[in-house]
Every structure is written in C-alpha cells, then in structure tokens.
Chains A and B, each alone.
Chain A
Amino acid sequence: MKRRDFLKSTAVFVSGAAVSMSALEMLDPKEVLAQNPELRWGFLVDTHKCVGCGMCVKACKTENDIPFDANVTRTWVERYVMTREGETFKDSPAGARNGFTSKLIDQNESGMKNVPDKDITQAFFVPKLCNHCELAACVQVCPVGATYGTKDGVVLVDRKWCIGCGYCIMGCPYGVRFFHPVVHTADKCTLCYHRISKGGNTACAQACPFGARKVGNLRDPNDPISKVIMSQRVGVLRPEYGTKPQCYYIGLNEEVH
C-alpha cells in the first residue's frame, strides 16, 4: 500500500519534473530541491552497513544541543543478537552515544548478558530516529498545536508553545520523544531541518562513515534514496500503527520493531 502510494505520487511528479529540470540546470540541484514544492523528506537506513560506531548519535547530540551525558537522545543505535536457541537479545547502552565496544549485552536491572560467539546465529545493528510519519500519532494528540508536520514532511516541536504535558511522548509508538533536560519541553529529531532546508545533509547521515543513513526527497525519482526505496525490498517500523512512517529500512526482520 505504501509502495503504491509512493509510486503514484512519484509518477505524477516525473511528468512535471522532466520539463522543469532542464530549465533549472544552472542551479545547484540541492538548492532546487530545497525550494521544490514537490518535496517530501524521507530517510533510508541500511542495517547491513551499520557497524554500531554511534558516531551518528554523538554528531546529533552536538549538532542539536542535546547534552551528551543526558540519558535521552534524538537518535540511537540498537544491537540485536540472536542465538541458536531462538533467543533474541537487544540493547542500546546510553543510546550507543559511545558506540558498542563490549560483547556484553546490557540488560539493565538483569545485568550484563554474555552470549558466546559460537551461539550467535545472526547479529546486527539498527539505527533509530524519528520516522516523520505521514499520519503522526504524536501530532494528533498534542492538545495545543505545539507539534506539527511541515509541508515538506518534517515533524517539529514549537519550543515556545509546548506546555510539557507529555502526551506526545506517550502517543509516539517509536519512543523517539523525550523531555529536553534543559529546555523542559518535548523534544525530538528535526531531521536537521536547519541543514536539509539549506541543501545540506543531516548531522547523523554526514557523520556516518559507512553510508548507513541517508536523507532524501521521496518525491524525486532521481534521488538516491527514492531509487533504493522503489527498486529494493525495504520496510518501515511498526506499520500496524497506521502512522505511515517515512523512514525506510533495508534488512529489517521480525525481531525489529
């Protein structure tokens, strides 16, 4: 269903873009995109490429002034370790702001879990961030209109209008929201709106050495991430909530949600 919607809107765009692109050749294509009304920001995560270094988390915290030592984060990386017995262990120590440097899996109150290498059948990392849902549950439940979706598909929080009730935090099925420890309002990933709207890259995607994270325009069929989404098997997190997440993942499996 998602794929079909996407292709439909893309098809409409292609016919129009073919004419207009030639007229704008002299301009920086990224600038064109930033001003393009046919713009819908989306994100693509390749879980095969992620090595769990957590540089994205560090970059995000620096870029967006989320105190590094505070135990909240706009993006984080999860580790999944599956064993021969069919068990799955997951962790994300401090959101992986310092990466994954230990084989021990942090189970919080249950202590550190040691899974011997020989028992591991598969293990991988999954970066998470706000899905900038088309039908965002967090926006729907904000009582004062302090969080909203922009025309180009980014979900933002108005720090001057938020009353700090926490309903959006409860409403988000992905746990991407938190109370900012300094500003004391709800906070979340802005998709580095200040960077992408000036033709730049998000801080997390820029910091990733492996190209596991990419931001792009889902309405542009020539955009690298659009091409992948259209031509490969991708998925989204927890589609059953009907929020239409716009963050696509390569290499998802059942244990990831």
Chain B
Amino acid sequence: MVEQAAHLLVHGEIWTLKDLFVLPNEYVYWSIQIVLYPYMTGLVAGAFVLSSLYHVFGVEKLKEIARFALVFSFALLPVAMLPLMLHLQQPFRGIHVMMTPHFTSAISAFGIVFMTYAVIVASEIWFVYRKFIVESIERLENKQRTGLEGLLLLIYKVISLGVRDISPEALQADHKATKILAGIGIPVACFLHGYAGFIFGSVKANALWMTPLMPVIFIMSAVVSGIALCIVCYAIFMWLRRWALPRGKNFFLPDQLAGTMQLTTDDLREMQEHETTMTAKYLRIFMILAITLELLDIIFRGYTAVKSWDILRQVIYEHDFYKIFVLQYGIGNVLPFLMLILPGLTTRRACVASVLVLFGVLMMRWNVVIGGQAFSLTFDGFMEYSLPIIPHSWETFKEGLGGVLLVFAAPFVIFYFLNMIFPAFYNDDEAH
C-alpha cells in the first residue's frame, strides 16, 4: 500500500485488509470500541440484574454480592458511554443525541434510556446508602476533620439531599423505594441492553446482524457477562480483604467502619465461598439460555439458507472458525460450563470459569461486530480487521489496544473512588 499523507488516510483504512471484491468505500468502520460498547453496557446491565435478584426477588443468598454489584454497576455506567465517545468522529457533538433525537434510529434512544437507567441506579444507591450517608455526616461533623474528610463531608451533605431522617419509618420507606426501583430497573436494564442488540439487529443492510433474535441474545449474554464479572471482582476483592485483615489493614472499607464489623478471616472466606458459588448457579442458568439462542440463530440461518448464507457460511465456518468455535464457544462457553457443573465447586474454580465466560462474551461481541463487517455488501469479498497494537496516532490509539486498556481500566478507577463514598462491602445488617 502506498504511504499516504495523514490527512488523506480514510477512517478504517489502516486496520482493514480487503480480499477479492469489496466496494471502494467499505472498511471496518465499526472497530474495537463498538465491540466494547455492547460489552460494557452488558456488564452494567448484568451487574444490575444480579443485584436486583436479591432486592426484588429476595434471594437472600445473594445479599452480600448484591450491594457490591449495585455499586460496581454504577462504576461501570460512565464506562458504557466511553467507547461511544471514543468512537465518534465528532465526539464534542455527542450531545446532539439528546438535543435532536431522531427516534427512528436505535442509537437515538441511547441518551434517554441511558439517562433513565443512570437515574434509577443512582436513586437506588441513594436509598440503600441513605442511613450510612446520614451517619457519616454526623460522625464527620463531630470530629476534627482533615482536608479530605472535609471534602467527604461536603459530598455527603450534597448527596444527602438535605434529608437527615433515619427513623425506623423512614428506613422502612427507603427499603420499599429500593425494592420498587430495583423492580423498575430490571426491565430498563434489559431495555438498555436489548436496544444495543437492536442497533445491530435492525441494520437490514447487514446479513449477519439482521435478526430479531439479536436483542434477546444480547440481553442474555449481558446478564451472563455481568454476573461473571461480579463473581470475579467480588472474589478478588474478598481475597484482598482476607490478605489485609491479619495485617491490620482494611481494604475497601473506610477506617471508621473497621471496628464496627467484627469479621475474622474465616468469616470472610466463608462469605466469599458462599456468595461466589451461589452466584455461579445463576450464571449457569443464564449461560444455557444465551448459548441456546445463539445456536438457534446459526442453525436457523443454515437451515433457511437464504441468498446471504453462502457468504455467511464462509465467514462462520472458514474465515472466523477459530474465533467463533474455538475461542467463543469452546473456551468461552463449553469449558467454563463444564467447570461450573462439575460437583464440588470452589471459589477458585468459579472464578476461573467466570474469567473464561467474560472472555467468551467479549469474543461473541467481537464476532458479531467485526464478523458483521467481515464480508462485503456485495457478498463477493472479505474484509479483515487487524487491531492496531502500537499507536501511531490518536486514532490508532483509541481504536486499538490502547483504547481497549483504557476502557477496561476505567471502571476500576471509578470504583476505587466511588467505594470511598459508598463502601461496597459495608454491611449494616439491615434487611434490604
């Protein structure tokens, strides 16, 4: 390929390899950030559904992980938007989606659904943590404050929204509100992710994407990946706490709470073991649903074999065989499923299986987004996406490995700060 001046380089050209006949304007326009977008959105939705299993359906066994999942879901929320912003050619105009929404487009719902969802999660956190917020204000007000504590007090005062009432009736009302919000949250979370699937499923120009199953498949895999991420992160954070406790440290809990929760390392291990293995049960159920739907999609396409099947078959069984059947289904679905159904599940095994599941769902997103652009609109040629590893420019950074790492790191950074305000492992023994 001839070296070109940077300003003549077309978006997508640098990472697209064309084979046989591909139209001149066809490139892999939707690259890694669009792979990450439904992935991150799925994690948000999945984490929230997990927390709702406890709040709405009263699955007591999930009590510990539910609170963590809720806070983590909130930390993931801004990160679901990040890939979109990194992907836009005009990121500063992103606000137009809210200003002049064109509702015949699936993307236009993003602004509204996303905001609705953010508001629901934020409100739910407010109700769950209201008692803690008020107690913290009182505690901080009655002591000598450092600069940081002063800031914390200010934050608590603002987010308390001026409410200091923690009478039993008030807390009862909080409890009720939490339950209602979690109940509303489930369909909204499903909608948030279902519509991400609709974005792809409704593109009639794309033979691989266009299927009404797409939103349902996306919801199922979202729940799978969200639960898996919660299992992994919860287990890791608990390991850290178990490591820290005998050393007199209190990871992930504000110091003032250290004394209030009398926990031994054995308690922590028991808690960790219990929560991860219980959650893994739900993971299995949703995995079965997700895999069933995905297989149904492939079988149906092969059986009906419409015009586009010829090229899809080549993409699925030849070009992307390794990515689909080895990485996605083999390592990402079958192997972890076997690990989860074998008797005597340990935290460690549940954790490894969950990591594989997370990888499998990421590969599923990859195979949908990149796979959908792996063939020409004319069905006469193929395009291959090569992920830019070393960034040469802002574009190859954000649409390459750099952008992936940025998006993956962001939720943990946000969680670190969010956890200072809303301790995710705080347990006040209130029945929520």
Contacts and interface: CB of A to CB of B under 8 A. Distances in A.
A257 B378 contact: yes
B101 A181 contact: no
Contact of A144 (B30, B87, B97): B97
B7 A181 contact: yes
Interface in B6-37: 7-13, 17-27, 29-30
B104 A141 contact: yes
Contacts of B26: 175
A66 B380 CA distance: 26
Interface stretch (B132-140, B200-208, B255-263, B352-360): B200-208
A170 B19 contact: no
Contact of A107 (B8, B10, B19): B19
Given A95-B24, A185-B90, A143 B30 contact: no
Interface stretch (B106-114, B215-223, B240-248): B106-114
A137 B29 CA distance: 17
A59 interface: no
How many A residues are at the interface, by size bracket?
35 or more
A167 B107 contact: yes
A144 B89 contact: no
Contacts of A137: 204-205
B90 A184 contact: yes
A176 interface: yes
A163 B107 CA distance: 12
A56 interface: no
Contact of A73 (B24, B84, B104): B24
A82 interface: no
A179 B11 contact: yes
B102 interface: yes
A130 B90 CA distance: 23
A236 to B, nearest CB: 15
Contacts of A5: none
A117 interface: no
Contacts of A242: 204
Given A94-B24, A165-B87, A179 B93 contact: no
B205 to A, nearest CB: 4
Given A110-B20, A179-B29, A241 B205 contact: yes
Nearest to A92: B24
A92 B25 CA distance: 11
Interface residues of B, number: 53
A181 B107 contact: no
Contact of B30 (A67, A71, A145, A170): A170
B144 interface: no
B9 A181 contact: yes
Contact of B378 (A90, A164, A167): A90
B97 A178 contact: no
B88 interface: yes
Interface string B158-179: 0000000000000000000000
Contacts of A169: 25, 29
Contact of B12 (A92, A107, A164, A179): A179
A87 to B, nearest CB: 11
A179 B24 CA distance: 12
Contact of A179 (B5, B10, B105, B377): B10
Given A107-B20, A169-B29, A145 B102 contact: yes
Contacts of B24: 71-73, 76, 92, 94-95, 175
B203 A170 contact: yes
Contact of B100 (A144, A178, A181): A144
Nearest to A182: B7
B65 to A, nearest CB: 35
A238 B25 CA distance: 17
B102 A144 contact: yes
B30 A166 contact: yes
B230 to A, nearest CB: 30
Interface of A: 67, 69-73, 76, 88-92, 94-95, 107-110, 128, 137, 140-146, 161-167, 169-179, 181-182, 184-185, 241-242, 257
29 contacts: A70-B8, A72-B25, A73-B24, A76-B24, A90-B378, A91-B21, A92-B21, A95-B25, A140-B105, A141-B106, A143-B105, A144-B93, A144-B96, A144-B100, A146-B96, A162-B93, A163-B88, A163-B89, A163-B96, A164-B88, A164-B89, A166-B30, A170-B30, A173-B204, A175-B23, A175-B24, A178-B27, A241-B205, A257-B378
Interface of B: 4-5, 7-13, 17-27, 29-30, 84, 87-90, 93-94, 96-97, 99-102, 104-108, 110, 199, 202-206, 376-381
